[in-house]
Amino acid sequence: MHRRTKQLFAGSAALAAALALPAIAQDRPESILPPGFGEPATPAPQPTVPSPQPSASSPRPEASGPSESAGVEIVDSLSPLEAVAVAPAPQVEFPATARRDPRFAGTLDPVDVGLGASAWGSMSGKSLQIVMRRMDTPLASRWAHIGLRNALLAKAASPFGVNPYDWAAERAWLLLRMGEADAARLLVASVDSDRFTPKMKQVALQSALASSDPSAMCALEDSLSKVEPRVSSLVSAICASLSGEAERAAADIEAARRRGRVGAIDLALADKVVGAGAETARAVTIEWEPVDRLNSWRYGLATATAMMPPERLVNASSLQMRAWLARAPMFPASQRIPHARTAAALGVFSSQALIDVYSSAYDATDPDELGSTDAWQLRLAFIGKDQDARLDAMRKLWGNSQGSFDRMAAHVLLSRAARRIAPTADLESDSVDIVASLLAGGFDREAARWAGTIGDLDDQQADAVWAMLALGAPAGTAITIDAGRIDDFADRDQSEGKQRTALLIAGLAGLGRIDPATAGRLNREYSLGLGAETSWTRLIDGAMRRRQSGTAMVLAASALQGREFDEVGPMYLFHAVNALRRTGQDYLARMIAAEALARA
């Protein structure tokens, strides 16, 4: 165990601590990243990026080195006569004033998303990269996913000791693993493509595939032979086809076929994309029967040609890949609804985005068949003739959910409709779902209005509503939070190992809603271990003290790995919520803590 140093986040001690992150998640999803990217490369010194000057061009930063060094067989697809006739494309030079500072790559203002002006502070970029690279997805918390996405997209100055281009690549790669195809693409697009490092090129290729957009690979065509030699000729063929160069596209495909370095299905899918290009007249039949799994290449090229992969492969794929599919506009909304629900439960889709998919399905459905659809029930949940009609539709949608993960999707779907329900104890049987729906959509003030009904509810409903509001309601809400009320909750808690009680106490302590003496007594009484110290707790507590909001968010997310909250220990929830609250992210901290009780 390393001793505490004055600079906790600098040097080898920080790296060792980062390597000792909590191993919470199970069933690590198979990486879709090309071999080599996951291996730490020798870092390049951070480039100095001067302020743009009209008379000078910005210097090119030193690249971190390709992750693969395999040789590339060069096959000229043009005859000597054709080669002479084709002039090289002119090199496009960016004026210095058009250059974007890679240290501030991103799309969101860090202040607007609650991170402040210095999200990473003095945190070592190497340590953060290790944390992010080791993170298993999905996260147990939808709200932690949302907070992490915002932190990764923020235009905050990159941390020290890391190449800013590789830092952007690491962020985009984590976004892809979270199911955030569009967010990753936006981040990649915020970096000047002619300055891409090998890692950035690899992630840009993955982003193009996740977005079902082969044309986005063409900006990388000339350099892929060094970083992705197995598919470089296929990408060249696709880009030639999209440019109307049918003969060169066909020649590149045949060259790849002769080499035999690419599997039959992967080559056939590339050939199909080539066939979709101009003047190729190529017809390709895709044989899915021998295929046992989807990877990013197969997903990206199949969906780019509006071919839905077989259901067995889609169902066996990761939740994140299904979130990619949710935003693929080439498929009917009715086909995307199950995947859109997955995306909403993960945090990729907002409530409004999920409603939009249902609305599109509603518009495309024959009026004679609407009555039996969930899209019709969703419409009634919003515009039913009275509250009883709206509630009846909401009950059907809540009841149709399969398991706790899908139940979360139903809560997200109905969060806006729940705002129209007037709080009353007469809705005792619906109160838990209504409050959970409101908090799933982030409507904390509307949820707090239900605090007045708790005293009139039966114990089971009262405990569930009280726990969610004790954690999620804004400060000042009239709700009793003391040791006696917590003990009453614990006495009636039927969860395994009293997991709900443990998460409740951890959340309340982290939010500062119970005093230290009460927290200490409950911690000892229920053997929660909230005060245990590990390498991870020292890291996140240090980030909290230094007000490093972005660092705190990344470390909090690392503690919430896993599909459900039963995989999250109370110690990790306590430190995560406490760090977020004390770095100016109180809203996120409350939503994460309340979600833990809603889903546990």
**pLDDT for res 1:** 42
CB 210 within 8 A of CB 324: yes
**pLDDT for res 91:** 53
Residue 188 Cα distances to 171, 199, 328, 329, 460, angstroms:
9, 11, 19, 21, 48
**pLDDT for res 99:** 79
C-alpha–C-alpha distance, residues 171 and 182, integer Å: 13
C-alpha–C-alpha distance, residues 501 and 505, integer Å: 6
Inform me whether the pLDDT recorded for 37 exceeds 50: no
Strand partners, 139: 561
CA atoms within 13 A of residue 301's CA, in its CB half-sphere: 27
Inform me whether the pLDDT recorded for 32 exceeds 60: no
CB 80 within 8 A of CB 86: no
**pLDDT for res 500:** 97
C-alpha–C-alpha distance, residues 79 and 60, integer Å: 35
How sure is the predictor about 33, in pLDDT bands with cuts at 50, 70 and 90? Answer: very low
Beta carbons within 8 Å of 561's beta carbon, 6+ residues apart: 22, 24, 25, 135, 136, 137, 139, 140, 567
Say which range, 92-101, 233-242, 295-304, 585-594, has the weakest mean pLDDT: 92-101
- DSSP-derived secondary structure for 458-474: -HHHHHHHHHHHHHHSP
Task: Report phi then psi at 228, rounded to 5.
Answer: -140, 65
Say which range, 91-95, 231-235, 364-368, has the weakest mean pLDDT: 91-95
What is the distance in angstroms between the CA of the first residue and the CA of the last residue of the chain?
33
Per-residue pLDDT tens over the stretch 169-182: 999 999 999 999 99
3-state secondary structure of 571: helix
Inform me whether the pLDDT recorded for 511 exceeds 60: yes
**pLDDT for res 451:** 98
How sure is the predictor about 97, in pLDDT bands with cuts at 50, 70 and 90? Answer: low
3-state secondary structure of 160: strand
C-alpha–C-alpha distance, residues 464 and 594, integer Å: 10
Q: If you average pLDDT over every residue of the chain, what do you get?
A: 86
Inform me whether the pLDDT recorded for 53 exceeds 60: no
Residue 157 Cα distances to 133, 154, 334, 485, 535, angstroms:
20, 9, 42, 45, 26
Q: pLDDT over 70 for what percent of the chain?
A: 83
Spell 485-513 as b/e; 16+ CB within 10 A means b. ebeebbeebeeeebbbbbbbbbbbbbbbb
How sure is the predictor about 261, in pLDDT bands with cuts at 50, 70 and 90? Answer: confident
Per-residue pLDDT tens over the stretch 439-478: 999 999 999 999 999 999 999 999 999 999 999 999 999 9
Residue 410 Cα distances to 26, 149, 394, angstroms:
25, 22, 9
CB 394 within 8 A of CB 435: no
**pLDDT for res 541:** 97
> Cβ-count burial of 146 within 10 angstroms (0-12 exposed, 13-18 middle, 19+ buried)?
buried
Of 517, 522, 509, nearest to 471 by C-alpha is 509
**pLDDT for res 225:** 86
Beta carbons within 8 Å of 350's beta carbon, 6+ residues apart: 344, 412
Could you give the angle at the alpha carbon of 290 between the alpha carbons of 287 and 291, nearest 5°?
A: 90
CB 472 within 8 A of CB 594: yes
Per-residue pLDDT tens over the stretch 147-172: 999 999 999 999 999 999 999 999 99
Inform me whether the pLDDT recorded for 527 exceeds 50: yes
Say which range, 254-268, 277-291, 510-524, 555-569, has the weakest mean pLDDT: 277-291
DSSP 53: B
C-alpha–C-alpha distance, residues 309 and 535, integer Å: 43
Inform me whether the pLDDT recorded for 64 exceeds 70: no
How sure is the predictor about 88, in pLDDT bands with cuts at 50, 70 and 90? Answer: very low
pTM: 0.85
Task: Report phi then psi at 53, rounded to 5.
Answer: -125, 130
Per-residue pLDDT tens over the stretch 570-584: 999 999 999 999 999
Run of H or E including 360: helix 351-364
**pLDDT for res 96:** 65
CB 561 within 8 A of CB 520: no
Per-residue pLDDT tens over the stretch 208-222: 999 999 999 999 998
| Better pLDDT: 259 or 216 | 216
